[in-house]
Amino acid sequence: MAEKSTERVHVFVSGRVQGVFFRANTRAEAKRLGLKGWVKNIPDGRVELVAEGPSRAVNELISWCHKGPACSRVDKVEFHKETPTGKYDEFSVRF
């Protein structure tokens, strides 16, 4: 049976997460999971992302963020759930 529950999460990832292809890998992982939203670097050195989709996929992406790509070092993942909006057509990297 297909999962009907949709979630939206706003995530901040701290550590060595800029300059290590974190955004590109997050986008690839989100697309693999069928999620919509965006990811971007922010001036304080963290990566910020919003992901929306099936609950199980959102949880898998949060778990993935705790590891990140091979060259990264994740120190902290903060997230909070938001009300899904359905406004994204894909998962993109923002600049």
Quote the pTM value.
Answer: 0.94
Q: How far is CA 73 from CA 4, 11, 23, 33, 76, in A?
A: 34, 16, 13, 22, 9
Q: Which residues contact 2 (CB under 8 A, 6 or more apart)?
A: none
Name residue 40's beta-bridge partners: 48
- Residue 41 known to be catalytic: yes
Q: Under CATH, which architecture does the 6-85 domain have?
A: 2-Layer Sandwich (3.30)
- Residue 59 known to be catalytic: no
CA angle 51/40/20 to nearest 5° reads 110
Question: Which amino acid, residue 1?
Answer: M
Each residue's pLDDT, cut to its tens digit, for the chain (95 residues) gives 445 699 999 999 999 999 999 999 999 999 999 999 999 999 999 999 999 999 999 999 999 999 999 999 999 999 999 999 999 999 999 99
Q: Choose, from 8, 23, 27, 46, the residue flagged as catalytic.
A: 23
Q: Choose, from 8, 16, 27, 41, the residue flagged as catalytic.
A: 41
